[in-house]
Structure 1
Amino acid sequence: MKVAEIRRYPVKSLLGETVSAADVGERGITGDRLWAVRDPDGKFGSGKDTRRFRRMPGLFALRAHTARQAPIVELPDGRRFAADDPDGHRAVSELLTRTVTLTPEDAVPHHDEGPVSLITTAALRRLTELAGAETNGREIDPLRFRANLLIDLPGTGFPEEDWPGGLLRIGPQLVLRPVRKLTRCVMIDMAQDGAARRNDLLKTLARHHSLTFGVFATVEQPGRVTLGDTCSWEKT
C-alpha cells in the first residue's frame, strides 16, 4: 500500500490544498487546521452544531492556502487576505452574513478527533458498493471526507479499521498509531470543491456502518510524508 493523496486544511472547515509532501509532527501535518473561523460567542465555524462548533453555511465557498505567518484566505471573487488581516475578517463576515474573525489555535486543538485522519481506496470502493443504485454510477470523491491521507489499497472493504492496536509506518521516518474509527456528519454530502451535493452517503453509513468512515491516528514518530510513500502496518 502507498500514499495516494495528502491534504492540508490551513483553516478548519474551509477548502484546503493538496500537496505532494508535508512534515508531520506530534500535532499532525504542519499547518493543518491551525486556524478557524470564530463567532462572537467563541464557537468555531463548522458544518455541524456541537458544544464547540457552530454550523456556518458558506464556509465551503472559501479556500485557505498555507503561508509563512498566517494562512491566505481566498474568497469566491478571487480576493485574498491573510487570516490575521482585519479587512479579511470583514470580507468573510460579509460573505457569511454574520460577524466572525479568524483565529489561531489556542490550548484546545481545532481537530475534531485527532491529529491525522486517514481513509483508504478500498473503503471508498466498499462505500460505493453499499450506496448501490443511489450512486447513479458516480464515483465517491475522497475529498468529501477531508482526510489528511488517502492510502491506496487493493480490493474492497474497511481494512483501516483493523489498524488500531498497531503501528502504520509511512516512508522512511513517519510512524502513526491509529486510534479509532471516525464518526461522520452532514459535511460528507455537502457540495464542495467541485463535488456536487449528495444526499446518500451519510444515510448509507448510518444504515450499514454506524456512521463511521476512516480512522484517526496519533503521531508515534514524526517525519515527512511524500506522495507515493510505501506504507506498512504492524501489530504491537
Structure 2
Amino acid sequence: MPEIVGVVERLWRYPVKSMGGELLDSVEVEDRGLVGDRLYAVRDGAGKLGSGKNTRRFRRMDGLLRLGARLGARIDGPELFDPLGRPVPDPDTFLRAYLEQQDVALAREDGVSHFDELPVSVLTTATLDWMARAVPSAVVDERRFRPNVLLRTPPGTPPFAEDGWLGREARVRGGARLAFVRASARCAMAGAAQPGLPHAPEILKTIAQERGNELGALATVSRPGRLRVGDALSLA
C-alpha cells in the first residue's frame, strides 16, 4: 500500500546555477531533472562554472545568489534580474561588470553537468520548521536550501523524515517517479545573503553540528512525468 508522506507545497526551478529561482505551478520532469533547472550557468574563460564554492568543475563567484533568473516560456535563454529585481537587458555585459570579471558569460549546459550532485532536491516543512527553531536568530526560509520541491508534511511529522526515504521510490499523479538516493550536503550558500535574507553563518554551523552538514534529500528521476503544486507524494 503506497504511503502518502506529504503534498507538494511549492515547486522551484533555478534556470541559472547559483542564482535565485522561479516558483512554478507545475513542471515537466525528465531524466535530467526538472525541465530547465540549472540549464544555464555563468562560465569563465577556463570553462569553470560560477558557484558558491571552488572545485574541479566550479569556481566561486560571490554575488550570484543576489541575482534572479526566470525561464518561463523562453527558448532563447533565461531572463536575468539584478539585486533590486530589475530585468537585465544584456546578461553577459551585466555579468562582466557586476562580477568585475571580463572572461565570464552565460552558457547553456553541454558536456559538463551544472548539478552539484543529483538532479532533484526535496525538503519537508517539518525539517524547515526544525531549522527555524534551531536557529531563532536567523531568518530561515526555504530559499536558503534551494529545494526543487518543498513538501508539506502532516502535523506531527518529525524533522528529517527525508532520511527514511533513502532507497525508496516516490510517485505523484502526473506520472513522475523519483528515486531517493542520499541526503543533500550543505555548503556556505545556506547562510549566504540574498534578496530578503541577510547573511546568517549560524545556519550552516548548526547543520554541521546537528546534522553532519546534511539536510533534505536528493533524488534521481526513475520515470519522467509532471509535478504539480498540490500533488500528493507517495512512497512505494
After TM superposition, the score normalised by the length of structure 2 is 0.90
Distance of 1:191 and 1:40 partners within structure 2: 26
- Per the alignment, residue 113 of structure 1 pairs with 117
Q: Deviations over 1:41-71 (max 9, x none)?
A: 2111111111111111111232111022211
Mapped contact 2:88–2:94 kept (Cα < 8 A):
no
Q: Given the alignment, which residue of 9, 18, 21 partners 1:13?
A: 18
Code of the residue aligned with 1:180 in structure 2: it is R
Matched AA of 1:73: L
Query: Take 1:61 and 1:210, find their aligned partners in 2: how far apart are those partners?
Result: 27
After superposition, what is the alpha-carbon deviation per residue over 1:146-168, rounded to whole angstroms, capped at 9, x for unaligned? 11001111333211111111111
1:71-117 deviation per Cα after TM superposition (whole angstroms, max 9, x unaligned): 11222462423xxxxx4212211011112111110122201111111
- Whether the aligned pair in 1 keeps the contact of 2:139 and 2:198 (CA below 8 Å) is no
Task: Map 1:70-109; keep pairs closer than 5 Å.
Answer: 70-76=77-83, 78-81=86-89, 87-99=90-102, 100-109=104-113
SS of corresponding position for 1:151: strand
Q: For structure 1, which segment, 14-23 or 72-81, has the greater mean C-alpha deviation from structure 2 after superposition?
A: 72-81
* Letter paired with 1:120: T
Amino acid at match of 1:166: R
Q: 1:28 Cα shift?
A: 0.5
Residue 139 of structure 1 and its aligned partner are, at CA, apart by: 5.5
Give how far 1:26 is off. 0.4
Residue 141 (structure 1) aligns with: 141
| TM-score, normalization by structure 1 | 0.90
Please tell me whether the aligned partners of residues 125 and 156 of structure 1 are also in contact (alpha carbons under 8 angstroms): no
In structure 2, distance between residues paired with 1:172 and 1:46: 32
Structure 1 residue runs of 4+, over 4 Å off?
A: none
- How many Å separate the matches in 2 of 1:42 and 1:73? 21
What is aligned with 2:164? 162
Q: 1:47 aligns with which of 48, 52, 56?
A: 52
2:3 equivalent in structure 1: none
Stretches of structure 1 that go unaligned for 5 or more consecutive residues are 82-86
Unaligned runs of 5+ in 2: 1-5
Deviation, structure 1 residue 123: 1.0
Contact 2:187 2:204 in 1 (8 A): yes
CA distance in 2, matches of 1:2, 1:124: 15
Query: Percentage identity across aligned positions?
Result: 41
RMSD: 1.5
SS at 1:127's partner residue? helix
Contact 1:23–1:224 (CA<8 Å) still a contact in 2? Answer: yes
Alignment of 1:81-230 (within 5 A): 81=89, 87-99=90-102, 100-129=104-133, 131=134, 134-136=135-137, 140-154=140-154, 155-230=157-232
